[in-house]
Structure formats: structure tokens, C-alpha cells
């Protein structure tokens, strides 16, 4: 009898994040180019011998390979917990109660979709569990569940490089040649995502020149060349302005990182700063350089594109 289901999913960086008008549902229209990196979250479901027709998650624990947050994230509100119960509910068959264990390698609340990666990994792990007791959910159903959990979860499920529109969850795969090498730096200053979007709206209301950047043609062409310098020149993030306004200390980090790498940009809504480099060796040097200049900041090297959520082991 199988007792453990292990899956993983990638962190991400937005190579482009164009923010349009606010929608009636409270979200903004987005045009985003997602890029999965090989800093992966790992989720393990440990099945018990107790069967149930109801919610199957009984407990959860997270092991942090990044700095531990102040708040306890191991509860029913966690996206991974919600993802497992969502799959079990949709499957509609009796399943064993499970414990969730998460190995967290992506910064918490850092703009790299670590929570969404947890959810995506939990979705495919739970579906592997379902397959041992009934008919697993098809890909379209998993994708719909992913979208119901959060706007970034579908990309965490998909991986690679993709154009996201709507809330960011309407995805089309993009051609990307070669590998991109990154350094990610977490200044640990905290930027609430909702406040970043609201501030952008306010800034645009007061400055008509702050228009949405919704054209990804230059970036799309750069990605097909495999030339990191061209990719760097085409990157853009509409939320970088609000991030800098809320956390002015990011300016120095961006300046030093930009001098060391090909390009430095706030990742998503921040506060993580992503630094594109021209090789693995360059990235390792940049990581050491930034660690020396910014004591106490978290720094790691990664590369992409990487695959989406996948079951790694069942035993």
C-alpha cells in the first residue's frame, strides 16, 4: 500500500508585468510573462490508515530552507491545505486522512509565488493519491481548481515560460530559447500585494504619464534569441514604482544589483529583487557580491525555465 506522495512545483519571476484597469471583481487586468525557475517547493502527503468521505487533511508542517516568517502558516487557510481538500472533494471518493509536509525553498511573501507553488504541488500530489482509490481528475479540472485557489496557481501548475492575461491565469506557452540565470534577493521589508496595486492606481490618477505597459512583443522576440542581454533590455514591471514608493530602501539594492548584473527588477509585487545574469558563473559572483553589500538579506541563485508541478515519488 502506498503511503507517501511527493510532488514539487517551481517558483517564478515575472519577466514582464503590465497592469491594466481594475475589474469589477477587484482584480486588475494583467499582461504578464511568467518564467518558472528551478527553486522548487516540495510537498509530501503522508496517508494514514483512516478513511474518510469528508475533508482529508488532518495536519500540516513546513520546514523552512529560507527565513521562517513570524506568522504560523500551517493551517486550513494555507493554499496547499486548501488544494488537497479541493481535489478530494472534487474526486468524490473515500480517501485516507493525510498529513501535509512542505519543504519551503522560495521566499515567503516575496513575489515569487511560493504559496502558489505549494498549492500546485499539492494539487498533483493529491491527484496521485486519488488515482490509487478511484479515477484521477483530468488536466482541465486540475487547472480549474488551480484558478479557484489563486491567480498564480495555474502557472505554477504549468511551468516553463508563458503569457498570462486576464487575472494572469489565462495562459499561453511562449517560445523561449536557452537558459536564463538569476540571482534573487529578499530584503525582507514586506509589501502587501493589494496595497501595491492600490498605490499604482493612485499614482496613475495623479500622473497621466504612468500608463499600463501591455505590449510584450519586444520581450517575446528577445526570448526566442536566447540572448540574455536582449531579454534584460525588454523586461518591465508596472509594480516596481509602487514598490519603491512603499519601500524606498529598495532603490539602493536595485542600483547595486543593476551594476553587478545585466538587469535588476522587482519580482512581481516585491519585495524580492530579481537580477538577470549572463551565465551561472556570473550569477554566483553577483550573489556573493550582493551578500557582501547587504548583510542580512537572503540571496540565492536559480535558473529557468523549469517544468511545472510534477509528482516526484510515490511510495
Annotated active-site residue in 152, 169, 238, 306: 152
Examine residue 313 and state whether it is found in any structural domain, yes or no.
Answer: no
Q: Clarify whether 152 is annotated catalytic.
A: yes
The pLDDT-based confidence of 54 (bands split at 50, 70, 90) is confident
pLDDT cut 90: percent of the chain above it: 93
24 pLDDT more than 90: no
Mean pLDDT over residues 89-93, rounded?
A: 96
Within this chain, do residues 15 and 160 fall inside the same structural domain, yes or no? yes
Characterize the bridge pairing of strands 170-173 and 161-165.
antiparallel
Within this chain, do residues 28 and 156 fall inside the same structural domain, yes or no? yes
Within this chain, do residues 165 and 228 fall inside the same structural domain, yes or no? no
Domain count across the chain: 2
Mean pLDDT over residues 304-310, rounded?
A: 98
What is the grid cell recorded at 101? 509536509
240 pLDDT more than 70: yes
Within this chain, do residues 200 and 167 fall inside the same structural domain, yes or no? no
What φ, ψ does residue 188 adopt, rounded to 5°? Answer: 55, 50
Mean pLDDT over residues 224-248, rounded?
A: 97
Tell me, what's the pLDDT at 1? 64
Within this chain, do residues 138 and 220 fall inside the same structural domain, yes or no? no
The answer to whether 260 touches 240, Cβ cutoff 8 Å, is: no
Within this chain, do residues 39 and 151 fall inside the same structural domain, yes or no? yes
Examine residue 310 and state whether it is found in any structural domain, yes or no.
Answer: no
Examine residue 315 and state whether it is found in any structural domain, yes or no.
Answer: no
Whether residue 62 is preceded by a cis peptide bond, meaning omega within 30 degrees of 0, is no
Within this chain, do residues 143 and 254 fall inside the same structural domain, yes or no? no
Tell me, what's the pLDDT at 113? 95
56 pLDDT more than 90: yes
Parent domain of 223: 180-304
Out of 149, 172, 195, a domain closes at 172
Nearest to 293 by CA among 260, 246, 247: 260
Annotated active-site residue in 12, 85, 104, 118: 12
Helix (H, G, I), strand (E, B) or coil at 234: helix
Within this chain, do residues 107 and 28 fall inside the same structural domain, yes or no? yes
Within this chain, do residues 60 and 166 fall inside the same structural domain, yes or no? yes
Tell me, what's the pLDDT at 23? 86
The answer to whether 191 touches 271, Cβ cutoff 8 Å, is: yes
Tell me, what's the pLDDT at 303? 98
State the pTM of this model: 0.95
Amino acid at each position: 500500500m502506498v503511503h507517501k506522495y511527493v510532488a514539487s512545483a517551481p517558483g517564478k519571476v515575472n519577466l514582464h508585468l503590465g497592469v491594466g484597469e481594475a475589474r469589477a471583481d477587484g482584480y486588475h487586468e494583467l499582461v504578464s510573462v511568467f518564467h518558472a525557475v528551478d527553486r522548487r517547493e516540495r510537498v509530501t502527503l503522508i496517508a494514514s490508515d483512516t478513511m474518510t468521505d469528508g475533508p482529508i487533511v488532518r495536519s500540516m508542517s513546513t520546514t523552512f530552507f529560507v527565513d521562517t516568517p513570524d506568522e504560523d502558516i500551517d493551517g486550513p487557510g494555507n493554499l496547499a491545505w486548501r488544494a488537497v481538500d479541493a481535489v478530494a472533494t472534487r474526486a468524490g471518493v473515500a480517501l485516507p486522512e493525510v498529513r501535509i509536509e512542505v519543504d519551503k525553498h522560495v521566499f515567503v511573501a516575496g513575489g515569487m509565488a511560493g504559496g502558489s507553488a505549494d498549492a500546485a504541488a499539492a494539487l498533483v500530489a493529491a491527484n496521485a493519491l486519488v488515482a490509487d482509490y478511484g479515477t484521477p481528475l483530468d488536466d482541465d479540472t486540475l487547472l480549474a481548481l488551480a484558478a479557484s485557489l489563486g491567480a498564480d496557481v495555474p502557472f505554477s501548475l504549468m511551468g516553463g515560460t508563458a503569457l498570462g492575461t486576464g487575472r494572469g491565469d489565462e495562459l499561453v506557452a511562449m517560445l523561449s530559447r536557452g537558459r536564463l540565470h538569476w540571482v534573487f534577493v529578499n530584503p525582507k521589508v514586506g509589501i502587501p500585494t493589494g496595497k501595491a496595486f492600490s498605490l499604482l492606481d493612485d499614482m496613475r490618477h495623479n500622473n497621466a504619464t504612468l500608463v499600463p505597459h501591455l505590449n510584450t512583443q519586444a520581450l517575446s522576440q528577445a526570448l526566442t534569441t536566447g540572448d540574455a542581454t536582449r531579454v534584460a533590455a525588454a523586461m518591465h514591471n508596472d509594480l516596481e514604482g509602487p514598490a519603491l514608493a512603499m519601500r524606498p530602501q529598495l532603490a539602493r539594492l536595485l542600483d547595486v544589483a543593476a551594476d553587478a548584473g545585466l538587469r535588476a527588477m522587482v519580482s512581481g509585487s516585491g519585495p524580492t529583487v530579481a537580477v538577470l545574469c549572463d551565465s551561472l558563473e556570473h550569477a554566483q559572483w553577483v550573489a556573493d557580491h550582493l551578500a557582501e553589500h547587504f548583510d542580512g538579506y537572503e540571496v540565492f541563485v536559480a535558473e529557468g525555465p523549469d517544468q511545472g508541478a510534477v509528482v516526484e515519488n510515490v511510495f
